Amino acid sequence: MLTEMSAHFYKHLKMVSRRPGEMAFLLLHPIITLLSLGIMIWFAVMQGAPASTMLFVFAGIVMWTFFDLVERAVTYGLTLDIWNSCMKHTFSTKALPKHFILGNSIFGLFSGVIAFSVVGVSGLLAFGFNIFSSGAYLINLISIFFFATAIGLIINSLMVSKGEKWMALIWMITGIVMVFSGVYYPVDVLPSPIKEFSQFLPSTHAINSFRAGLGYLPETGASEFLIGFASSLVSLVIGVVIFWAGLKKGHRNGVITRY
């Protein structure tokens, strides 16, 4: 099992090492995002916005970056195969779908932790903001990991059962999650029914719990974590089931053998 799983992990490592753009997306893109938004929020605070505004936005940025990289790894496990017309080989070997899920998601966790650390150190040096001071509330990364993996598997299900036309969701979904999860603002400012829908997203509660660990509404930290963790587990199970169903459909209708 370890060999089959690590093969998917190794494929990502080779891609990152051979493509400077992928390395930049992992190491430079998060820093650019942090600096561009951080300077804007710093300016807002200098103009009279509450100092907690910076804490609120920084916490959202680092969690959203983590989500983006995990979901990207899970979906790129298929995207590269489609681009290179070798997806049929991935699902015709002795490796099972569970190996695909574990290998790609673990690389997502690996790359997400690296980016999270890079952003954390950069934020500390540039703005004096220490995301690691959240302590035990860093465990909310697990909720984000489960949820991002689930979203990636659902997108994969559409690609293996319907084809590459669904590939654009890889980049669209992260933006949708960002809006609905209140990355840059409290979800209370969203109009109905979007505000109510946001409460069903594990990311909303995980980000709020992480903010609580940093001192923003600290009394909500434990309850938000429990809701976020439980809902992320549910979403992961749903994602796995949908991915399995998509694979079966892709085998039946010939989509998998097309690429």
Per-residue pLDDT averaged across 40-68, rounded?
89
Per-residue pLDDT averaged across 58-76, rounded?
92
Per-residue pLDDT averaged across 162-190, rounded?
87
Q: Which pLDDT does position 220 carry in this prediction?
A: 92
> CB-side exposure of 157: number of CA atoms within 13 Å?
16
Cα angle: 111, vertex 115, 118; to 5 degrees: 140
Q: Quote the CA–CA distance of 159 and 242 in Å, as a whole number.
A: 12
The pTM score is 0.93
Asked if the model's pLDDT at residue 101 lies above 80, the reply is yes
Q: What is the share, in percent, of the chain residues with pLDDT greater than 90?
A: 46
Q: Quote the CA–CA distance of 31 and 107 in Å, as a whole number.
A: 20
Q: Which pLDDT does position 165 carry in this prediction?
A: 82
Asked if the model's pLDDT at residue 25 lies above 90, the reply is no
Residue 27: phi and psi, rounded to 5, are -105, -35
Asked if the model's pLDDT at residue 191 lies above 80, the reply is yes
Q: Which pLDDT does position 127 carry in this prediction?
A: 87
- Ranges of H-type helices in the chain: 2-18, 20-27, 29-46, 52-83, 87-90, 97-127, 140-162, 169-180, 194-198, 202-213, 221-253, 255-258
Q: Which pLDDT does position 171 carry in this prediction?
A: 83
Which carries the bigger pLDDT value, residue 19 or residue 241? 241
